Amino acid sequence: MRTKRRVGGSADRVPLVRLAHARSGDKGDTANVGLIALEPGYYPVLVKQVTAARVARHFKGIITGKVERFELPNLNALNFLLHGALGGGGTLSLKTDAQGKVFSTALLRLEIPVPQGLLE
């Protein structure tokens, strides 16, 4: 798997799995993903780069509703609500992941630009 690529010599692109851990769950047809920085120094990068719009693009075609984002600087975490993510949700859903348990790692596939040297 490609994990690192130069962009214009000023930034690297890395998948979120190298910057954060995550847990997800459900509320009806909405999945939530809590994204937690692996190091406090990564949190400002997550705040800047992992916008609701970028997450919505990442999940385009997979979710049918909008994406909301909330900040928890005290926990170095962001919380995302992915609406229309679970095929009706709860017992109505036919999906393997009817309760959105692994939307967490699906988000960790997202690649974002990070300042050069951040991971060194």
Q: How far is CA 8 from CA 12, 13, 45, 59, 100, in A?
A: 9, 11, 18, 26, 36
For the segment 46-85, give every residue that binds other proteins (CB under 8 A). Answer: 58, 61-62, 70-77, 79, 81
Report how many residues bind other proteins under the rule CB under 8 A: 42
Choose between 30 and 45: whose C-beta lies nearer to other proteins. Answer: 30
Element (H, E) at 65: none
Angle at 103 between CA 18 and CA 110, to 5 degrees: 40
The minimum distance between CB 21 and other proteins, in angstroms, equals 4
The minimum distance between CB 20 and other proteins, in angstroms, equals 9
Choose between 104 and 114: whose C-beta lies nearer to other proteins. Answer: 104
Angle at 60 between CA 59 and CA 63, to 5 degrees: 70
Where does this chain touch other proteins (CB under 8 A) — which range of 4-12, 43-51, 102-110, 111-119?
102-110
Residues 50, 55, 86, 106: which binds other proteins (CB under 8 A)?
Answer: 106
Considering Cα of 96, then 100, then 105, then 106, what sign does the dihedral take?
Answer: positive
